[in-house]
């Protein structure tokens, strides 16, 4: 195990409220991120809930935690490497990549998903990375998962570079739909933001994905102050015109450069206001459920018909931890109960040591029982200074 990944469980350094980044890479969030109250109809709620003891994990059934939430939304990272270097995610030189021997194999990913679905009640799967398309066996991974789980919705988050050549094969293997990351429509801004000149490849990938029927397609954009924050309206206009759902994600302190700063986050309320300069927004009557994005119907000015939808993922300024239903597995087979966790539980070691499916399921139940209340801590929301950036960054966790 390399130093970056070996340090994933090291003791965090606490930094004072309002700090941005310290030499250790620790980062404090702004004081606006208390856990949101549970929404009506959400799977669970932490608001006012008292944590149950850490040792009380159930011995059967699904992935419950001490705050009454149940994880049914599985995110599996298939690789930590990537062919882009988005500034909000990775350093220019990349990361210390996992050695091949530590990556889950095609069959190991298939087995872990089978346990999650068939023993633990996972209802949907999202494949992510790093960049999932970097894996040459991605079609085999998906085909294996599909063979085991004929009705499972399988989506993938991708930057779409190289997707034009693989979209149809991925669809044929059993992929249901896609989230594609695209932060700008300008080639120069794309090259600056991703440090690669590949906007044309992303657009070609999107076209191929649509032709292959991998819809509905959602477009993920992270807005960065002074870089692409003037593109809110053009992105919504372009997405709506092309039948995509535009989703804006607040920049989170999970970057490889450790240069995140709260003052640079474009808050959800400003994103909504920017969209409303050109479009009418109304809350999506389908509601949000446990989804991370708050969804809105978009109407062009003066028109009554809904032109499309946008989602805003406000993890920093309006967090939705109280209704979180996610469980994550990293590319080296570690369960992370929260994006911001400082703890991981090694499923892959158990699998390679010969544990049966029930043994793996129980390790997973215990890991999820200990899921922190919000932003990686039971105390965050009450004491904001508690927040510490985890050692693993977004691309190494799987966003
Ligand atoms: N490479 C694929 C992609 O970019 O779609 C999948 C992995 S990427 C880590 C998953 C998502 O995380 C992308 O939508 C990306 O925009 C988002 N992301 C990465 N770093 C982020 C950060 N610091 N804050 C918010 N979102 C981030
Ligand atoms: Fe790669 Fe996705 Fe991170 Fe960009 S956001 S560097 S595409 S893993």
- Tokens of residue 248, six digits: 């804006």
Question: CA-to-CA distance for 266 and 264, rounded, in angstroms?
Answer: 6
Domain annotation for the chain: domains and CATH numbers: 71-328 (3.20.20.70)
**Atom 21 of ligand 1, nearest CA residue:** 89
Q: Is 77 in the pocket of ligand 1 (CB under 6 A)?
A: no
- DSSP-H helix ranges across 119-198: 138-148, 167-173, 187-194
Question: CA-to-CA distance for 390 and 95, rounded, in angstroms?
Answer: 15
Question: CA-to-CA distance for 397 and 395, rounded, in angstroms?
Answer: 6
Q: Which ligand 1 atom is at minimum distance from the Cα of 253?
A: 23
Q: How far is the CA of 38 from the centre of ligand 2 (A)?
A: 31
Q: What are the residues whose beta carbons fall under 8 Å from the beta carbon of 159, sequence distance 6 or more? A: 82, 83, 84, 131, 133, 180, 181, 182, 194, 202
At 322-344, the pLDDT tens digits run 899 999 999 999 999 998 888 89
Q: How long, in residues, is the chain?
A: 399
**Atom 15 of ligand 1, nearest CA residue:** 181
Between the alpha carbon of residue 173 and those of residues 118, 124, 127, 221, 279, the distances in Å are 20, 16, 14, 27, 38
**Lining residues, ligand 2, CB within 6 Å:** 82, 84-86, 89-90, 129-131, 159, 181, 395
Over range 120-147, report the average pLDDT: 98
Lowest mean pLDDT among 31-45, 173-187, 248-262: 31-45
Between the alpha carbon of residue 286 and those of residues 218, 297, 359, the distances in Å are 17, 10, 38
Question: CA-to-CA distance for 260 and 257, rounded, in angstroms?
Answer: 8
Radius of gyration of the chain (CA): 20
At 182-221, the pLDDT tens digits run 999 999 999 999 999 999 999 999 999 999 999 999 999 9
Q: How far is the CA of 395 from the centre of ligand 1 (A)?
A: 7
Q: How far is the CA of 358 from the centre of ligand 1 (A)?
A: 32
Over range 247-262, report the average pLDDT: 89
Q: Please, is 47 exposed, middle or buried when counting C-beta atoms within 10 Å of its C-beta (0-12, 13-18, 19+)?
A: middle
At 297-321, the pLDDT tens digits run 999 999 999 999 999 998 888 888 8
């Amino acid at each position: 195990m390399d130093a970056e990944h070996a340090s994933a469980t090291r003791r965090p350094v606490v930094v004072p409220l309002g700090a941005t980044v310290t030499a250790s890479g620790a980062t404090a969030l702004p004081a606006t991120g208390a856990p949101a109250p549970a929404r009506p109809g959400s799977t669970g709620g932490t608001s006012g809930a008292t944590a149950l003891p850490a040792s009380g994990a159930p011995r059967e059934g699904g992935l419950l935690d001490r705050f009454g939430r149940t994880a049914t939304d599985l995110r599996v990272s298939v690789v930590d490497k990537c062919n882009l270097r988005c500034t909000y995610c990775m350093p220019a030189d990349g990361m210390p990549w996992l050695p091949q021997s530590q990556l889950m194999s095609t069959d190991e990913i298939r087995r872990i998903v089978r346990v999650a679905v068939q023993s633990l009640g996972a209802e949907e799967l999202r494949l992510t990375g790093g960049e999932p398309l970097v894996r040459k066996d991605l079609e085999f991974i998906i085909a294996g998962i599909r063979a085991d789980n004929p009705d499972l919705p399988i989506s993938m988050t991708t930057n779409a570079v190289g997707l034009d050549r693989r979209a149809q094969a991925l669809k044929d293997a059993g992929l249901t739909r896609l989230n594609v990351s695209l932060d700008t429509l300008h080639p120069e801004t794309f090259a600056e933001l991703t440090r690669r000149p590949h906007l044309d490849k992303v657009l070609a990938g999107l076209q191929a994905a649509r032709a292959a029927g991998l819809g509905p397609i959602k477009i993920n954009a992270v807005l960065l102050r002074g870089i692409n924050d003037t593109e809110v309206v053009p992105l919504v206009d372009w997405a709506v015109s092309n039948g995509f759902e535009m989703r804006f994600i607040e920049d989170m302190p999970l970057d490889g450069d450790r240069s995140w700063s709260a003052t640079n986050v474009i808050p959800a309320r400003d994103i909504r206001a920017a969209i409303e300069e050109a479009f009418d927004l109304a809350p999506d009557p389908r509601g949000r459920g446990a989804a991370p994005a708050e969804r809105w119907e978009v109407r062009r000015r003066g028109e009554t018909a809904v032109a499309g939808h946008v989602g805003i993922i406000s993890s920093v300024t309006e967090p939705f931890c109280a209704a979180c239903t996610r469980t994550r597995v990293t590319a080296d087979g570690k369960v992370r109960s929260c994006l911001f966790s400082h703890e991981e539980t090694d499923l892959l070691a158990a699998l390679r040591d010969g544990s049966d499916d029930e043994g793996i399921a129980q390790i997973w139940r215990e890991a999820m029982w200990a899921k922190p209340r919000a932003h990686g801590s039971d105390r965050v929301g009450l004491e904001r200074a508690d927040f510490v950036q985890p050692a693993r960054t977004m691309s190494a966790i799987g966003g």
